[in-house]
Amino acid sequence: MIVRFLTIQPFLHIATQAETYLEPGMILLNEQEYPFTPGQTIGELAAACKPAADIFILNGFPAQSGTLIQDGDSCSLIERGAKLTDNEIDALLSARHTPGIHQQIRTSTIAILGLGGLGSAVAGAMAKIGIGKMLLSDYDVVEPSNLNRQHYFVDQIGMLKTSALQENLLRMNPSLSLQLIEEQLTESRLPELFSKVDVLIECFDTPVMKAATLRSVLSKMVDVAYVGSSGMAGFGENNTIVTRMLRPGVYIVGDAISEAAPGMGLMAPRVGIAAHHQANQALRILLGEAPKRN
């Protein structure tokens, strides 16, 4: 991956995301390299390559069809409401993340235990980056009191969380592979169901199942990396939510003390901090940035 530095006197412009190095005479068309034709407008390009496109984006900004394309430009031709194929999603993620990282993510398997405030948010983050396979486990249904933090919608009240979340995730990324588990989990079932995943993300509500999961991971699932959770209720400080390593491949996210209780309920912002700690820690494990189990 080569990042271009453009110096425009007197300002220094620094490229802030992964950019493809383009040879002269090439443009980017929907993240793929494509030959540049001098004098071509973006509307003409669309007519040639994607006639159904009705939204044109040129170098990050919406453009009219008569806008001339320049050498090295980046064009997105979008058909409003069109479905993305698995290949298109693959190409988008590969361009955004770089091919090597995309490959590691899409060949990984994770389990998310509990699909509430933490689990639904973790699942969304992992779905968006194109995780290969997710095992999603929860026996419960969507209730109105969940909606202050959980990633469900009013019209999903009464649905099983597994079904509702599957619906939501597939709308974000139709190419996902999901396995839904709807039984109420017990400690003995954990190794039977989750021994083969790369990372197990514990998003339970009850401390009993949280403890059971860590115990099971340490004593019976020696190859599975674990990211657990403890303490994220209320609206206390952001920076007391931390990711702590217990040993290689075993991490706990939270502030360790903020228990959900009357007067200190779970709320989307702070639960979301914890959830995204979990998601990023899982990603770091998968990419070899954080130690796996010994």
Partner 1 sequence: MNITLNGNTKSFQEISTISDLLHSLELSPGTVVVELNTTIIQPDFYSSTTLAESDQVEIIRFVGGG
**Residues at the contact surface with partner 1, assessed by CB under 8 A:** 114, 116-119, 203-208, 210-211, 214-215, 218-219, 228-233, 246, 252, 254, 256-260, 266, 271, 274
Q: What is the 3-state secondary structure (H, E, C) of 73-101?
A: CEEEEECCCCCCCHHHHHHHHHHHHCHHH
Between 59 and 188, CB nearer to partner 1: 188
Enter the DSSP assignment of 11: E
CB of 226 to partner 1, least distance (A): 11
CB 225 → partner 1: shortest distance, Å?
16
Nearest distance, CB of residue 217 and partner 1, angstroms: 9
CB of 252 to partner 1, least distance (A): 7
Closest to partner 1 by CB, 45 vs 199, is: 199
Closer of 3 and 257 to partner 1 (Cβ):
257
Of 64 and 206, CB closest to partner 1: 206
Residue with the two structure tokens 């010994």: 294
- The residue among 146, 145, 147, 126 whose CA lies nearest residue 135 is 126
Q: Is 188 helix (H, G, I), strand (E, B) or coil?
A: coil
Cβ-based nearer residue to partner 1, 91 or 218? 218
Q: Which two tokens stand for residue 266?
A: 């779970």
Pairing status of strand 199-202 against strand 109-113: parallel
φ/ψ bin of 176: left (φ > 0), alpha (ψ from -120 to 50), beta (otherwise): beta
H or E element in which residue 199 lies:
strand 199-202
Burial code (b: 16+ CB inside 10 Å, e: under 16) for 80-106 equals eeeeeeeebbbbbbbbebeeebbebbb
Q: Which of 108, 135, 103 is nearest to 282 (CA)?
A: 108
Q: How far is the CB of 201 from partner 1 (least distance, A)?
A: 10
How many whole angstroms separate alpha carbon 72 and alpha carbon 60? 13
Q: Report residue 106: phi and psi, to 5°.
A: -75, -10
Residue placing its CB nearer to partner 1 in the complex, 102 or 151? 151
CB of 210: closest distance to partner 1 in angstroms? 4
Tell which residue, 74, 53, 83, has the closest CA to residue 65.
53
Q: Which is nearer to partner 1, 166 or 230 (CB)?
A: 230
Least distance from partner 1 to the Cβ atom of residue 213, Å? 9
